[in-house]
Amino acid sequence: MQEFDLIQHFFTRSTLAQARDDILLGIGDDCALLQVPAGQALAVSMDASLAGVHFMAEADPYAIGWRALAVNLSDLAAMSAEPAWFTLGLSLPHTDTPWLEAFCQGMADLASAQGISLVGGDTTRGPLSISIQVHGFVNPQTAWKRSKAQVGDLIYVTGPLGDAAGGLCLEMAQTTIEHAAQLGFEGQDALRRAYLLPYPHIEAARILRPYVHAAIDISDGFLADLGHLLTASGCGARIDLSSLPISSALQDLLGDEAALGAALAGGDDYQLCISLPRAQAQVACEACEAAGIPLLPIGEVIETLGIFDQYHQPLPTLGYNHFNAASIQQKRLAAAISRQRV
Ligand code: ADP
Ligand code: MG
């Protein structure tokens, strides 16, 4: 298949390049022409997904497509921006039609659920890599920023932490089959899904939009990402480790101690971590509850710099950093821990 036919066949389908009134011209010309609503700012973010770094080349192409878009949507959620458009830079070693079908389906299922439309991109031959740039709308006065947390705010997350790290252990097959089997199919499936099919918390961000002071999405690990938010805001945090949301599936897989480690330092969860003014906490929690969206309290913003547990002991700000060999080790560590236990 030639490049033109490939683009035509895969990328102009209505579930990916869905119609929107603000797309004056979509895929097919040299540029797309897009209309930003009056008074709104354009929120722009980009994330690359490389085979062997962000996903395993032999992974399910449906999940690769879903995940590549999900991690970008998660950044829009973290600013409370409304998703609008995305562009796709795709490098492929060869044209594998079934692979591309599944890849596009994964991306399209999430794109149509979130109302975001593919408006352009570039397709080249090369090692498998996917770069997505998302565009959303946000009121520049009320956009959530990392820098706006205030001493006394309460800290919440939108769901369990560490499940994706558990899913990665299972995917890397660094836990024995017998041990994984003890976990049962449902537990394994939940952890795998957390890693392979992360859910961007756009809806939670929409509901919480009026209440939040500061937010970040947890991609590199809870402590690392909370640390970024706190550094930007010039404050610290006290976290009640006993209230960290850790799934029983993760505890079954890794044991309590390693599960806590995965919740604190494992990446890829894409939960939102938000800082809410105390006065707004109750109404925000009620709004989430009414919508069936979890919002779990885990700590508070304090004046002293650093992150501390409920006994005032400092916690290290561990996380995943591509340029730090220790981080690469760390991803393997969680897997190694699970192996040791069997
Ligand atoms: P040009 O050579 O002018 O840059 P291309 O041949 O690269 O144009 O692309 C033709 C059209 O197809 C453009 O509108 C471009 O945005 C779109 N396109 C190319 N690759 C992709 C892709 N991976 N996803 C979405 N649109 C794409
Ligand atoms: Mg081009």
- Cβ proximity of 157 and 298 under 8 Å: yes
- Decide: 29 in ligand 1 pocket, CB within 6 A: yes
- Cβ proximity of 238 and 300 under 8 Å: yes
- Structure confidence at residue 183 (pLDDT): 67
- Check whether 332 is labelled as a binding-site residue: no
- Measured CA to CA, the distance from residue 101 to residue 94 in angstroms comes to 14
Q: 15, 16, 3: which is closest to 87 by C-alpha?
A: 16
CATH of domain 146-336: 3.90.650.10
- Check whether 45 is labelled as a binding-site residue: yes
Domain residue spans in the chain?
3-138, 146-336
- Measured CA to CA, the distance from residue 334 to residue 257 in angstroms comes to 11
pLDDT in tens, the chain (342 residues): 788 888 889 999 889 999 999 999 999 999 999 999 999 999 999 999 998 888 888 889 999 999 999 999 999 999 999 999 999 999 999 999 999 999 999 999 999 999 999 999 999 999 999 999 999 999 999 999 999 999 999 999 999 999 999 998 888 765 445 555 566 778 889 999 999 999 999 999 999 999 999 999 999 999 999 999 999 999 999 999 999 999 999 999 889 988 999 999 998 999 999 999 999 999 999 999 999 999 999 999 999 999 999 999 999 766 655 555 445 445 544 444 444 443
Rounded to the nearest angstrom, the distance between the alpha carbon of 6 and the centre of ligand 1 is 10
| Nearest-ligand number for the alpha carbon of 5 | 1
Task: Please give the CATH architecture assigned to the domain spanning 3-138.
Answer: 2-Layer Sandwich (3.30)
Q: What is the pTM of this model?
A: 0.91
- Decide: 222 in ligand 1 pocket, CB within 6 A: no
- Structure confidence at residue 169 (pLDDT): 86
| Nearest-ligand number for the alpha carbon of 7 | 1
In sequence order, the β-bridge partners of residue 50 are 129
Rounded to the nearest angstrom, the distance between the alpha carbon of 122 and the centre of ligand 1 is 5
